[in-house]
Amino acid sequence: MTAVRACSLADLPGVGAIRVVVDGWNVAVVSTVEGVFAIEDRCSHADVALSEGDVDGCTIECWLHGSQFDLRTGEPLSLPANKPVPVFPVAVEGEGPSADIMIDIPETR
């Protein structure tokens, strides 16, 4: 994997998600009270953007059917989704709002 800059800390809401495209992957970069996470921006059940869903703790909820995913593992926590979504390691480089959010993206799918 190769670490790639996804956005800056200032681009993120206090708690919530934004969509970025990194090396051909649609990624939801998610800010929580527990830290910053990166998960593929695609519900495994309905193929819609997870970045448009609600964030609660370390979960993100698909806005269409309500499936929740663990941001740490990508595992679905509720139906109708029953397949995990890829997650990516995140590092924050620098300090303050201009800090870079770096994501390790696999070289192949």
Q: Report all structural domains of the chain as residue ranges with CATH numbers, in order of start.
A: 2-105 (2.102.10.10)
pLDDT in tens, 1-17: 779 999 999 999 999 99
State the pLDDT at residue 69: 99
- Contact present, 17 and 35 (Cβ < 8 Å): no
pLDDT in tens, 68-83: 999 999 999 999 999 9
| Gap between the terminal Cα atoms of the chain | 11
Between CA 13 and CA 10 the distance in angstroms is 8
